Structure 1
C-alpha cells in the first residue's frame, strides 16, 4: 500500500519499486543481537584456573582462561567480575591488562572472616573451575570527563584496579599519565611490588609510583604514615583539576575525601570505587534510633518465611535461605539485586544508587537494605 505522503517526494515510484524487488529479509535479527550481547556481556562464564600466583602472605592472583583457549570478553581497566562460590558471589577487580584477552587475572586479598576470599585463597588450585559474570562496573577511565592526567590513591588491595590501568597505559602506549600513591600497612605486604618497582626504575614517562608505609620495617626509607593532605600534595604536587581515583578499605574513603577537600579539590573530581555494604549501617544518620541492630524480624519472600537480624543485609539473608536474586557489585550501585517491598520498613543505606522511581514503586537494592520491621517482598 502506497503511503499517502509518497507522491510528495520526487522519484517515489522508483524507490518503492526498488524496495519491492528486493528479496524478503529472513534474518533472525533478535538472535544475532543476542549472540553479540552474550559474546561481550555474558551473564555467566565457566573458566579454568590455569595459574595461582602468590603475591604476598595475604594475597593471591588467580589466572583464568576459557577451557577452549578462546579470548575472553573485553573489559575496561578498573572493571570487575562477579565470582560465584558457596551459594553466593563477590565482585573482584581485574588486575590484568585489557590488551591481553587470552586470560583474566583476579588478585584477591584475604579478608578476616571473609566467606569467599578465604575459600578461594585456601582451596582453589590450578585446574579448578570458577564461575564468573562478564566484566562490569563504572570505575574506569572516561577520557571525556577525567582528562589525561590522573592521580590514584590506593590502600591495600585497592591497588588492583590501578594495576590494570597501569598495564593498560603501558601495553597500549596510551597518552595518559597516572600517578599512583599506594598506601600499605607494612613494606612486606605490598601487592605487585616487583612490577611496580620495575616500572619506577624504568622511569616510564606516563607512570609515577609512590609507596607510603604505615608500619615500616627497619629497611624502609620511603614515605611513612597515612595519606594525609600534606603528603598527597608533597608526592603528587598541585592537584589542580586532575581527577583523583580512590580505592581501598572502607575506612579510607571518608578519610581520603576529607584530605582531598582540605586541599581544595572539588568533589566532582574525586571518584570512589564501590566497596561493599556499610560495615556498620547503624552509624548512618537515618538509621531509626529505636531499632536495635541485633533484634530479629520476619522476612517473607518466594513463598517462605524466615527470621533475620536487622543489621544483616537483606541480600545475604535471602541467599542463606536459598533465595538468590541476581547480584553483582553488592555495594548498592549496579541495581541487579533490586527487590520490591510489599509490606514493612527497611533501612536503605546511603550507598544505594536508587532510581527516582524506586521510592514510588517500593523498590530497594537488597545488598544495602536492612529490614527494620517484618517485611514481605515480591520475590
Structure 2
C-alpha cells in the first residue's frame, strides 16, 4: 500500500514500482554480522603449539597456530591474548608481527612464584593445545596521537610488545623512528638479542640500547638501572616524544619518577597494564588498622568461603572453581566486573572504574580486595 503522501512527490510512482519489483532480501544479516565479528574479535581461540624457541635460560617463545593453518584474527602491535590454563588465566603480549597472521608468538619469562608463566615454560610442548582470547588491549601505537618518533623502555619480558612493534615497522616498511631502551639483569637475560642487533644494524630508524644491571667482564654497554641520567644519555632530550613502558611492576613507579625528572609530561607516557599490585596495603587508601592477612567470608549465591583480605577477589573466586570472565587481570578491560551487594572492598589504584560503579557497587574483581565479609553478584 502506498503512503498517503507519496503521490505528492514527483516520480514517487516510479520509485514505488521499482521497490515492488525488487527481489526480496532474504539474507540473514544478523548471522552474517555475527560471523564477521567472530572472525575479527573471537571470544575464544583454540590454538596449537607449532614450535618453541628457547630465547634465554629463563624465557621461551611459543609459536601458536590455528586449525588447518587458517589465518588468525588481526591485531595491533603491542596487543595481547589471554591464556586459559590451570583453572585461571594470564595475559601475554604477542611478540610476532601483525603482518604475519599465520601464527602468534607468545614470549614468556620465568618469574618467582609465577603460576602460569612457569607452568607454560615447564610443561608446554609442541603439539599441545592452548585456549586463548582473541587479541585485545590498548597498549599499541596510534600515529595520530603518539607521533612517528617514539621511545620504548622495557624490562625483562616487557620487550615482547616492543618486539612486535619493531617487527611491524620492518615488515610494513613504516616511516617511523623507534628507540628501544631495554633493561636486563645480565647480558644472558636479553631476549631477542641477536635479532634486535641485526634489525638495528639494517634499519637506521630503529635503535636498540641494552642496559645491564649485573654485567659480566665482557659487557661493554651501559650498566645499572634505567635512571634519568641513563635514559637521557641514550635518548637525548625526549622533547615530548611518546614513551612506552613495559616490564615488571616495580619498573612502573620507578620509570615514572625518572621520566618526571627529565620533564616528561605524564600524558606522553604509556604504561602497559601488568597485573594486580604486589602489595595492595602499600597504597595510601588501604584502610588503616586492617590486617591484610586476616580472612573474611565471600558469598556467591549459595556458596561461601574464606579468603585473606590481601588476595584479589578474582583469584579467590577461581580458587573455588567459580569462573569469571577475565582478560587483562590489571583493572583495565572490565571483563571481570562484578557487583558487591554487601560489604566493602579495597579498589586498587590500578582499577579503571566507571563513575557510576561506586554508586551501584560494581568493581573489577582482579584488583579488588575484600576488606569485610562480602556478598558478590556475578
TM-score (norm 1): 0.97
Any gaps of 5 or more consecutive residues in structure 2?
none
Kindly state the Cα deviation for residue 3 of structure 1 after the two structures are TM-superposed.
4.7
**Residues 20 and 54 from structure 1, CA distance in 2 versus in 1: closer, same or farther, beyond 3 angstroms?**
same
* Equivalent in the alignment of 2:96: 96
Q: Distance in 2 between matches of 1:82 and 1:249?
A: 18
* Equivalent in the alignment of 1:52: 52
Kindly state the Cα deviation for residue 128 of structure 1 after the two structures are TM-superposed.
0.8
Q: Distance in 2 between matches of 1:177 and 1:10?
A: 59
Q: What are the residue-to-residue correspondences of 1:46-85 with 2, within 5 Å?
A: 46-85=46-85
Any gaps of 5 or more consecutive residues in structure 1?
none
* Equivalent in the alignment of 2:158: 158
Q: Distance in 2 between matches of 1:222 and 1:161?
A: 23
1:265 and 2:227 aligned: no
* Equivalent in the alignment of 2:172: 172
Q: Distance in 1 between matches of 2:361 and 2:10?
A: 54
* Equivalent in the alignment of 2:225: 226
* Equivalent in the alignment of 2:244: 245
* Equivalent in the alignment of 1:306: 305
* Equivalent in the alignment of 2:286: 287
Any idea what the Cα deviations from partners look like across 1:312-354, whole Å, max 9, x if unmatched?
0000000011111100000000000000111110001110111
Kindly state the Cα deviation for residue 221 of structure 1 after the two structures are TM-superposed.
0.5
Instruction: Tell me if structure 2 keeps the 8 A contact 1:340–1:377.
Output: yes
Q: Distance in 2 between matches of 1:158 and 1:134?
A: 20
**Residues 3 and 265 from structure 1, CA distance in 2 versus in 1: closer, same or farther, beyond 3 angstroms?**
farther
Any idea what the Cα deviations from partners look like across 1:208-250, whole Å, max 9, x if unmatched?
1101111101000111111111211111111112100000011
Q: Distance in 2 between matches of 1:95 and 1:173?
A: 18
* Equivalent in the alignment of 2:345: 346
Q: What are the residue-to-residue correspondences of 1:147-226 with 2, within 5 Å?
A: 147-202=147-202, 204-226=203-225
* Equivalent in the alignment of 2:295: 296
SS at 2:204 equivalent: coil
Q: What are the residue-to-residue correspondences of 1:115-154 with 2, within 5 Å?
A: 115-154=115-154
Q: Distance in 1 between matches of 2:158 and 2:120?
A: 18
Q: Distance in 2 between matches of 1:134 and 1:8?
A: 53
Q: Distance in 2 between matches of 1:136 and 1:251?
A: 24
* Equivalent in the alignment of 2:328: 329
**Residues 17 and 128 from structure 1, CA distance in 2 versus in 1: closer, same or farther, beyond 3 angstroms?**
same
RMSD value over aligned CA atoms?
1.2
SS at 2:187 equivalent: coil
SS at 1:359 equivalent: helix
SS at 1:322 equivalent: coil
Instruction: Tell me if structure 2 keeps the 8 A contact 1:302–1:323.
Output: no
Instruction: Tell me if structure 2 keeps the 8 A contact 1:40–1:73.
Output: yes
Q: Distance in 1 between matches of 2:142 and 2:51?
A: 32
Q: Distance in 1 between matches of 2:137 and 2:104?
A: 16
Any idea what the Cα deviations from partners look like across 1:275-302, whole Å, max 9, x if unmatched?
0000000011111012110011000014
* Equivalent in the alignment of 1:355: 354
Kindly state the Cα deviation for residue 9 of structure 1 after the two structures are TM-superposed.
4.7
Q: Distance in 2 between matches of 1:123 and 1:43?
A: 25
Q: Distance in 1 between matches of 2:8 and 2:348?
A: 59
